[in-house]
């Protein structure tokens, strides 16, 4: 498991005073401001959220040191990470940090390999798993639901996925 967890992504600039759209990956979207200093993926840049408010389908953040639209635009698509030890422990069954799922082996109900979980996306209607087939080729996208993913075994580093039937 990773020692840092991605908690948000900076989006486009919002307005002219240096605010940015922020896409949190936390169960409580506003919690991203409670984790202290956030880091870029490579750990070379650090970010402090000075203020955070709700926007339409996103958050609006003011980040320390970002005072105008030009500076805000340069941060677009920067992923923000926090050390795992700053996150609250998971206490509910069937609740996971996405970072713990990426890289899991994905198998069908029959045990046949489907590939590796490469990403988890949310395009607005719930989480979607992106599975990279073992032999390469086009990725498989499936909804992250109890019906589609009946079993997740973190200790064994695998999940069972039952792709939904498709009608042609």
Domain range list for the chain: 4-86, 98-160
- pLDDT of res. 89: 79
Give the chain's mean pLDDT. 89
Residue 124 has pLDDT above 90, yes or no: no
Please state, in angstroms and rounded to a whole number, the distance separating the CA atoms of residues 164 and 124.
19
- On whether the CB atoms of residues 27 and 19 are closer than 8 A, the answer is no
Which residue is it, tokens 């795992």? 84
The CATH number of the structural domain formed by 98-160 is: 2.30.30.240
Q: Which of 139, 146, 137, 138 is nearest to 164 (CA)?
A: 146
- Residue 97's pLDDT band, with cuts at 50, 70 and 90, is confident
- Residue 1's pLDDT band, with cuts at 50, 70 and 90, is very low
pLDDT digits (tens, 9 = 90+) for 23-55: 988 878 899 999 999 999 999 999 999 999 998
In CATH terms, 4-86 corresponds, of 1.10.1660.10, 3.90.1150.10, 4.10.490.10, 2.40.30.60, to 2.40.30.60
Burial of 50 (0-12, 13-18, 19+ CB in 10 A): middle
Predicted TM-score of the model (pTM): 0.72
Please state, in angstroms and rounded to a whole number, the distance separating the CA atoms of residues 157 and 29.
27
How much is the average pLDDT of 151-167? 86
- pLDDT of res. 45: 96
Residue 151 has pLDDT above 50, yes or no: yes
- On whether the CB atoms of residues 106 and 113 are closer than 8 A, the answer is yes
- pLDDT of res. 168: 53
Least confident stretch, 60-69, 84-93, 140-149: 84-93
- Residue 163's pLDDT band, with cuts at 50, 70 and 90, is confident
């Amino acid at each position: 498991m990773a020692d840092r967890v991605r908690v948000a992504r900076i989006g486009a600039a919002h307005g002219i005073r240096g605010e940015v759209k922020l896409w949190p990956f936390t169960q409580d979207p506003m919690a991203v401001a409670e984790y202290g200093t956030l880091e870029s993926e490579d750990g070379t840049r650090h970010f402090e959220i000075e203020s955070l408010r709700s926007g339409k389908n996103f958050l609006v953040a003011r980040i320390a040191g970002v005072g105008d639209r030009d500076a805000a635009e340069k941060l677009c698509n920067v992923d923000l990470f926090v050390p795992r030890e700053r996150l609250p422990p998971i206490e509910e069954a069937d609740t996971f940090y996405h970072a713990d799922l990426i890289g899991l082996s994905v198998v069908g109900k029959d045990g046949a390999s489907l590939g590796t979980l490469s990403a988890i996306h949310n395009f607005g209607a719930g989480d979607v798993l992106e599975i990279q087939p073992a032999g390469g080729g086009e990725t498989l996208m499936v909804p992250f639901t109890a019906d589609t993913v009946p079993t997740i075994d973190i200790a064994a580093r695998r999940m069972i996925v039952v792709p939904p039937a498709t009608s042609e």
